[in-house]
Structure 1
């Protein structure tokens, strides 16, 4: 979970830098396409995306556009809640929409909902890619390879299609079993 949290946070930063840079270039005529983000955004994006994973597991029976609408609602709620907490803790929210767009207490811009909906549509393909990346990273660890080589854990064998979630879960289980079978050095 921690690797995905970190990767989601970085993906959020990249998304925000691209969005604000393009906005500056297109609407503010900033030839440098100056982009902005905040350090606070990494944990906000990371935690929100993990919440979207949780939501995905409960809504997987719905069509993807409907799930994206639910993700949009969660994203806007997370933006409002974290903005409110930051305003209380810091005396101000790093992003301030008071004088811009259709906003709610300066913390959320409702006119950005279509962009968040697009992010919601992209969430699942990004999630699948991150699950594949983290699963493959686990397979590359010495503990995993050692466990497979010694026969402590068999290399997963599948008949038929396998979901990315199942693949990621099996790699993680194998990694955890490999850690359990490895003798711990005593210091």
Structure 2
């Protein structure tokens, strides 16, 4: 889970840098200045892990409808973490107050299309990250030792990234429980 949290946080940073840089370029900033905040890494990582949980529950629904639910969760996470940071730091690192569609300066409703597109991309990104982390796990000494000792969790069918992530999570949990 830690590896996915870290990867999701980095993925969020990259998307934010692309978004803010493109926005700056469209505003005629020739340097296309992009920015993010250190706070965003744990916010993106934690939100994506929450999306994983919601995703499992919403699997029977059509993808566009799941993306609407993810968008609501993203807005909720942005508002809640912005509110919390404002309480802790005295201000929220992002301040949307001057914008017309701002809610308490913490979220912008006019960003709904961008968050919806991000939500639509969540499942393919998640599946790719789960596949990568599962493959990387198979190359660790701990995995090889567990494989030789016959201590691997029951594996699910290959080629299904989401289930590969479940196998990786089970292995990580079994390995941490077995550690002295």
Match of 2:29 in 1: 30
1:91 shift after superposition? 1.0
Summarize deviations over 1:135-179 as a string: whole Å, max 9, x none: 11111111211232x352479777x76532222223443465567
Match of 1:165 in 2: 162
Summarize deviations over 1:48-101 as a string: whole Å, max 9, x none: 111111110110110000000000001011111111111111111110111124
Match of 2:20 in 1: 20
Structure-2-length-normalised TM-score: 0.90
| Residues 1:152 and 2:150 are matched in the alignment | yes
Match of 2:79 in 1: 80
The SS at the match of 1:36 is coil
Unaligned runs of 5+ in 1: none
Give the conservation status (yes or no) of the 8 Å contact 2:153–2:167: no
Who wins on radius of gyration, i.e. which is larger?
Answer: 1
Q: Distance in 2 between matches of 1:178 and 1:85?
A: 34
Q: Distance in 1 between matches of 2:22 and 2:158?
A: 40
Structure-1-length-normalised TM-score: 0.87
Give the conservation status (yes or no) of the 8 Å contact 1:146–1:178: no
Match of 2:47 in 1: 48
Q: Distance in 1 between matches of 2:73 and 2:175?
A: 37
The CA RMSD measured in Å over matched residues stands at 2.2
Q: For the structure 1 residues 25 and 169, does the alpha-carbon distance in structure 2 shift closer, same or farther, using more than 3 Å as the test?
A: same
Give the conservation status (yes or no) of the 8 Å contact 2:12–2:45: yes
